[in-house]
Amino acid sequence: MTKGNVGIVIVSHSADVARGTADMVRQMVGDEVPLAWCGGDPDGGLGTSVESILGAIDQAWSEAGVAILVDLGGAETNSEMAIEMQPEERQSLIAICNAPIVEGAVIAATEASGGAPLAVVCGTAEELSPA
Residues tagged active-site: 13
Q: Alpha-carbon Rg of the chain, whole angstroms?
A: 13
Selection from 111, 3, 122 nearest residue 69 by Cα: 122
| Measured CA distances, 71 to 5, 41, 46 (Å) | 23, 15, 12
**What is the rounded CA–CA span in Å between residue 111 and residue 81?**
26
Length reported for the chain: 131
